[in-house]
Amino acid sequence: MVNRLNQEIELKLHVPAGQAAAVEAAVNGRNGATRTHLQAAYFDTPDHELAAAGMGWRVRREGRIWVQTLKATIAGGGDGLRREEHNVVVRGRAMPDADASLHLGTPAGERLAEVLNASVDMAGQTFRTDVWRRTRAARVDGGRVELAFDTGTIASGDASLPVCELEIELLAGTPQAVIHTARTWVRRHGLWIDAINKAQRGVMLSQGATEVPVVRAPQPTLTPAMSADAAVREMIRACLVQIMANASAVAGGLGGHEHVHQTRIGIRKLRTVLRVFGDLSPIDPDWSPRLAEVFSRLGTSRDREVVLSNWLTALADVGGPSIHPSTEPPEDPGVPLRDPAFSLLLLDLLHFVHGQADDDGPDLVTEVSDRLQQLRKKSLRHARDFGRLSTEQRHLLRKRLKRLRYTAELTGALFSQKKVQRYLRALEPAQDALGALTDLGVATDLFHDMTEADPQAWFAVGWLSSRHDEVVEACTAPLQAAAKAPSYWR
Q: What is the mean pLDDT of residues 101-121?
A: 90
Look at residue 6 in the predicted model and tell me its pLDDT: 64
Q: What b-and-e string marks burial along 99-132, b requiring 16 or more CB atoms within 10 Å of the CB?
A: ebebbeebebbebbeebbeeeeeebebbbbbebe
Nearest to 268 by CA among 246, 226, 239, 233: 239
Question: What's the pLDDT at 329?
Answer: 65
- Quickly list DSSP for 371-416: HHHHHHHHHHTTSTTGGGS-HHHHHHHHHHHHHHHHHHHHTGGGS-
Cα distance between residue 284 and residue 463, in whole Å? 45
Q: What is the pLDDT of residues 415-473, one digit of tens each?
A: 999 999 999 999 999 999 998 898 888 888 888 888 888 888 888 888 888 888 899 99
Contact 12, 167 (CB under 8 A): yes
For 138, phi and psi rounded to 5 degrees? -145, 140
**pLDDT given at position 305:** 65
Sequence-ordered list of residues with C-beta below 8 angstroms from that of 459, at least 6 positions apart, any chain = 315, 320, 321, 323
Residue 76 has pLDDT above 80, yes or no: no
For residue range 373-403, list pLDDT tens digits in order.
Answer: 999 999 998 888 898 889 899 899 999 999 9
In 3-state terms, what secondary structure has residue 465?
helix
Q: Give the DSSP letter string of 300-369.
A: HHHIIIIIHHHHHHHHHHTTPPP----SSPPPPTHHHHHSHHHHHHHHHHHHHHTSPPPS-SS-HHHHHH
Q: For residue 191, give the amino acid letter.
A: L
Nearest-CA neighbor of 382 among 476, 251, 297?
A: 476
Higher pLDDT, 158 or 325: 158
**What's the mean pLDDT in 101-118?**
91
- Statement: residue 4 has pLDDT above 70: no
Whole-number Å distance between alpha carbons of 216 and 373: 26
Helices vs. strands in the chain: H and E counts, helices first: 15, 9
Residue 161 has pLDDT above 70, yes or no: yes
**What's the pLDDT tens digit per position in 311-351?**
777 777 888 787 776 656 677 899 999 999 999 999 999 99
- Distance, in Å, from the CA atom of 148 to the CA atom of 382, rounded to the nearest integer, reads 56
Contact 185, 16 (CB under 8 A): no
Residues in CB range of 2: below 8 A, 6 or more apart = 88, 89
Give the pLDDT confidence score for residue 304 in this predicted structure: 67
How would residue 7 be classed by pLDDT, with cut points 50, 70 and 90? Answer: confident
Domains of the chain, start order = 2-209 (2.40.320.10), 245-484 (1.40.20.10)
178 vs 311, more confident: 178
Length of the chain equals: 490
Q: Mean pLDDT over residues 74-88, rounded?
A: 78
For 86, the enclosing helix (H) or strand (E) is strand 82-90
d(CA 148, CA 138): 11
CA-CA distance, 243 to 262, in Å (whole number)? 7
Q: How confident is the model at residue 113 (pLDDT cuts 50, 70, 90)?
A: very high
441: enclosing H helix or E strand:
helix 417-450
Rounded distance, CA 196 to CA 456, Å? 44
Strands 2-14 and 159-173, sheet pairing: antiparallel
Q: Would you say residue 307 has pLDDT above 80?
A: no
Mean pLDDT across the stretch 142-171?
A: 96
Other Cβ atoms closer than 10 A to 86: 24
pLDDT on residue 1:
45
Reference 487, options 313, 397, 371, 349; nearest CA is 371
Tell me the per-residue pLDDT of 239-271, one tens digit each, with 9 for 90 and over: 999 999 999 999 999 999 999 999 999 999 999
Q: If we measure between CA atoms, which residue out of 228, 209, 352 comes closest to residue 279?
A: 228
Please state, for a pLDDT cut of 70, what percent of the chain lies above it. Answer: 95
Q: What mean pLDDT comes out for the span 190-210?
A: 94
Neighbours of 142 (CB within 10 A): 17
> Is the confidence at residue 123, as pLDDT, over 60?
yes
Q: What are phi and psi of 163, to 5 degrees?
A: -120, 125
- Give yes or no for a contact between 55 and 21, defined as CB atoms under 8 angstroms apart: no
Burial of 93 (0-12, 13-18, 19+ CB in 10 A): exposed
Helix (H) or strand (E) holding 210, with range, is: none
Which is nearest to 268 in space by CA: 288, 283, 248? 288
10 Å CB burial of residue 293 (0-12, 13-18, 19+) is middle
Q: Which of 112, 50, 49 is nearest to 86 (CA)?
A: 112
Provide the mean pLDDT of the chain. 91
